[in-house]
Amino acid sequence: MRDGNSPTTDGPAQTAGPGITSGGLAGEPGAVHVILGSDRTRIVLSGEIDADLGPDLQEATTDAEQAGLPIEVDAHHVTFMDSSGVAFLARLSIRSQHRVRLLRVPPTVRFLLEVTRIGELLDVVDTDEPTGFAATPDPADEGPATT
């Protein structure tokens, strides 16, 4: 069985509109970004965190471990997470010399943390508190512009 993101040799996927395939809504591809600060490492996750990101998650773990700084994981833009993402968080928490902070956790990820009990290994923080990184406003978090 192929998903909407799998290449096929049978021709193009049947579409029912922008971003929708015959199998349902097309998922947002996942991404992992590592930002090394002077006093901590921030890992920003977005989109679907699944097995397709395995090598990227492993590289992020290695980068954070080598830096030896406290680790923050910003999960604000995660739309889906499977066991690969849970294993990544567990790996970070075990390998880090410091307690890992998980920032702005969406309900989908919070559910996984509770069910797997991985949340007990992390500090879950509902807001993005000042951490020494320059704050970048998220336009999606702001209300309508007034002039």
Domains of the chain: 27-127 (3.30.750.24)
Mean pLDDT of the 77-103 span: 96
The CA–CA distances, whole Å, from 20 to 2, 4, 12, 25, 144 equal 15, 9, 13, 5, 28
The DSSP call for residue 129 is -
Neighbours of 142 (CB within 10 A): 8
Between 85 and 126, residue with greater pLDDT: 85
Q: Share the mean pLDDT of the chain.
A: 78
When mean pLDDT is compared across 79-83, 86-90, 97-101, 140-144, the lowest value belongs to: 140-144
The separation between CA 115 and the C-alpha centre of its own chain, rounded to angstroms, equals: 18
Nearest CA to 79 out of 57, 100, 105 is that of: 105
92-147 per-position pLDDT tens digit: 999 999 999 999 999 999 999 999 999 999 999 987 555 444 444 444 444 444 44
Q: In the prediction, which pLDDT does 128 show?
A: 58
Q: Are the CB atoms for 128 and 74 separated by under 8 Å?
A: yes
**Residue 4 pLDDT > 90:** no
Percent of the chain with pLDDT over 90: 64
Mean pLDDT of the 32-40 span: 96
Question: What is the C-alpha end-to-end distance of the chain, expressed in Å?
Answer: 51
